[in-house]
């Protein structure tokens, strides 16, 4: 698992790989996410898990956008 750098390109199991691919798609082009992505996720995750994954992606994205809005950078850590 990558920490503090570029994410790993290959993951140990298919479920993690699918989740990482969805997250990458979410960051690069949200409009590209379609029903096929969710059908693939359903082969490895429950509806609740998929919902939590999507909520986490949106939360992290919003957190990053808030940091940009507030001009928070690495030098602003306590």
Cα distances from 62 to residues 12, 43, 55, 58, in angstroms, run 28, 28, 10, 6
pLDDT given at position 76: 57
In this structure, the chain runs to a length of: 78
Return d(Cα 30, Cα 58) in angstroms, integer: 11
pLDDT given at position 11: 78
pLDDT at 75 over 90: no
pLDDT given at position 64: 87
pLDDT given at position 26: 94
Cα four-point dihedral sign 19, 20, 23, 24: negative
pLDDT tens for residues 43-61? 999 999 999 999 999 999 9
Q: Kindly state the average pLDDT of the residues 54-74.
A: 90
Cα first-last separation, the chain? 26
Return d(Cα 38, Cα 77) in angstroms, integer: 37
């Amino acid at each position: 698992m990558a920490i503090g750098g570029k994410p790993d390109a290959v993951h140990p199991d298919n479920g993690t790989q699918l989740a990482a691919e969805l997250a990458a798609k979410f960051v690069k082009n949200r409009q590209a996410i379609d029903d096929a992505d969710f059908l693939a996720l359903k082969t490895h995750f429950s509806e609740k898990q998929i919902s939590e994954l999507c909520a986490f992606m949106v939360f992290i994205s919003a957190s990053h956008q808030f940091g940009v809005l507030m001009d928070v950078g690495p030098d602003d850590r306590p």
